[in-house]
Amino acid sequence: MTVTDRAGLITRRIDSPLGELELWASAAGLRAVLWPGEDGARVARSLSPSAMAGPGADAGGVGAPSAGAPAPPDSAGAEPDTAATRHLDRAERQLTEYFAGTRRDFDLDLDLAGTAFQRSAWDVLRTIPYGSTMSYGEQAAALGDPAKARAVGAANGRNPVSIVVPCHRVVAAGGALTGFAAGLDTKAWLLDHERRVLAEDVLAEDAPAEDVPAEDVPAEDVPAGDVPAGDVPAGDVPAEDVPAGEIHAEVRAGSGR
């Protein structure tokens, strides 16, 4: 893992099953999650220090660019911004949980830059449930114009926060995998991973409860009143439990001879 200060943005590389991911963050939130080998050209707008989320951005939100961008640090040796570092810490932890199969939804502050149409398309992406898919036409219809399937595909291609904003869940109308910055193998891996996690959860829920052998039930757990009287042999009744008044008279008479 490495942390670098780049003109007001902090970057960190983390390991994943898909290779080394590069995370970018500002003091306002996560800027980008880049695939192994990406140079950032695809999402250059989000990696510019002058691009900041607008007033509408909040926890997990996607905001518009703002002119109020932070100035680059005065020197190359400036300390990393602590708020940005916290955003990277949370993103790294939640991505690790996602790959481990213990997280389905992300709860991160996002500081993204894009056109109004791109931001709207990214908002729709975040409504696709974990392990599910949506076609480009369905995504366009959600934006109010089914004819804009190609436009939403282009907007998805500019999504800077891979995995967190799940453009990998968008497929062709017939279900075929198309267009993905990290390649179709990676897209297939992500979808298979989510479906596998869901299937394992179903199996766990359907598994029968383990039977407890009778001999494992502690004796003290059986109420005394539940033991039938006929199950106690007469010879097992202690002498002191027999009332004195039940001793036969002839026995008393015989004892005087």
Which pLDDT tens digit goes with each residue over 108-132? 999 988 899 999 999 999 999 999 9
What DSSP string runs through 24-43?
A: EEETTEEEEEEPTT--SGGG
| Residue ranges covered by each domain of the chain | 3-203
CATH code, residues 3-203: 1.10.10.10
Instruction: With cut-offs at 50, 70 and 90, classify the pLDDT of residue 223.
Output: low
List of residues 6+ apart from 157 with CB closer than 8 A = 42, 167, 179, 181
One-letter identity of residue 166: P
Among 10, 164, 167, 191, the one annotated catalytic: 167
Structure confidence at residue 112 (pLDDT): 85
Count of all residues that appear for the chain in the document: 257
Per-residue pLDDT for 64 more than 90?
Answer: no
* Catalytic residue status for 167: yes
Q: What is the mean pLDDT of residues 163-189?
A: 95
Angstrom distance (rounded) from CA 162 to CA 110: 12
* Residues β-bridged to residue 22: 13, 34
Per-residue pLDDT for 55 more than 60?
Answer: no
Structure confidence at residue 203 (pLDDT): 80
Angstrom distance (rounded) from CA 204 to CA 102: 14
**pLDDT per residue over 196-212, tens digit each?**
999 998 887 766 766 55
Instruction: With cut-offs at 50, 70 and 90, classify the pLDDT of residue 220.
Output: low
Residue % of the chain over a pLDDT of 70: 64
**pLDDT per residue over 145-167, tens digit each?**
999 999 999 999 999 999 999 99
Which stretches of 108-245 are assigned E, i.e. beta strand?
Answer: 134-135, 170-171
179: alpha, beta or left, given left = phi > 0 and alpha = psi -120 to 50? left
Residue % of the chain over a pLDDT of 90: 54
Angstrom distance (rounded) from CA 170 to CA 179: 9
Between residues 152 and 39, which one has the greater pLDDT? Answer: 152
Tokens of 98: 């996602």
End-to-end alpha carbon distance in the chain: 105
